[in-house]
């Protein structure tokens, strides 16, 4: 290594390698340290529970809590803080609202799972929509809502107004997991580059 350092080309090569490593480490540190405020949602499952054909709809009436129902879906909905900074209850200018189409009627809505278990998850069923009241969600926090929806037309609208969050994004579990694991992967890369730098000298 000392012989290479004495050679002009070897010196140039060493400096170039150090510069490349420094640039890569700087980029990785920037990606890891930048704040990402992000809220994502996904449909875990959407299962039909009751469907009445048009031919017999006039002869058969099914009631739920005294109200007639025709096409009932069991929808399991999950929302997660997919960023790396907390979303505070004070960040909400407008609460998150879930809508399932113009004709949909939400029969029941209940939180069934939450991570961590201490997460406060106040929700309100307004009949035509479900409102998620502002609550603190730290990085990786999530909760799942199980709903029975009558006349769901496969159109889900999720909107709200949260400081620092441009849109509440539809996602999948794999995408969320990739985002949450990226920081740890970046740290591993930094350690590898540092190890290479030590070996070079």
Return the domain boundaries, the chain: 2-34+182-200, 39-170
- Taking the domain 39-170, which CATH number applies? 2.60.40
pLDDT for 4 beyond 50? no
Residue 4 contacts by C-beta under 8 Å, 6 or more apart in sequence?
Answer: 10, 11, 13, 14
Contact between residue 109 and residue 147 where contact means Cβ atoms under 8 Å apart: yes
Question: In which residue are the tokens 């740290």 written?
Answer: 187
pLDDT for 54 beyond 60? no
Q: What is the pLDDT of residues 156-179, one digit of tens each?
A: 999 999 999 988 988 865 554 555
Query: How many other CB atoms sit within 10 Å of the CB of residue 155?
Result: 10
Q: Is the dihedral of CA 151, 155, 158, 159 positive or negative?
A: negative
Question: Binning pLDDT at 50, 70 and 90, where does residue 136 land?
Answer: very high
Residue 193 contacts by C-beta under 8 Å, 6 or more apart in sequence?
Answer: 21, 24, 25
Query: Would you state the pLDDT for residue 70?
Result: 78
Q: What is the pLDDT of residues 5-28, one digit of tens each?
A: 456 666 666 666 666 766 666 665
Report angle CA 75, 81, 82 to the nearest 5 degrees: 100
Residue 63, strand partner residues: 68
Mean pLDDT of the chain: 79
């Amino acid at each position: 290594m000392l012989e290479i350092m004495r050679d002009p080309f070897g010196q140039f090569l060493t400096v170039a390698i150090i510069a490349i490593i420094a640039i890569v480490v700087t980029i990785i540190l920037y990606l890891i340290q930048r704040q990402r405020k992000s809220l994502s949602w996904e449909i875990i499952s959407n299962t039909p529970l009751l469907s009445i054909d048009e031919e017999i709809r006039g002869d058969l009436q099914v009631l739920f809590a005294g109200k007639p129902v025709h096409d009932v879906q069991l929808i399991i909905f999950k929302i997660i803080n997919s960023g790396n900074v907390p979303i505070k209850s004070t960040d909400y200018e407008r609460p998150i609202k879930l809508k399932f189409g113009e004709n949909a009627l939400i029969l029941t809505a209940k939180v069934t799972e939450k991570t961590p278990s201490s997460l406060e998850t106040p929700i309100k069923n307004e009949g035509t929509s479900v409102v998620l009241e502002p609550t603190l969600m730290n990085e990786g926090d999530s909760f799942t809502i199980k709903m029975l929806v009558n006349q769901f037309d496969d159109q889900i609208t999720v909107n709200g107004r949260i400081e620092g969050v441009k849109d509440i994004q539809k996602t999948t579990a794999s995408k969320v997991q990739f985002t949450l694991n990226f920081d740890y992967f970046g740290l591993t890369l930094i350690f590898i580059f540092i190890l290479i730098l030590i070996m070079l000298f």
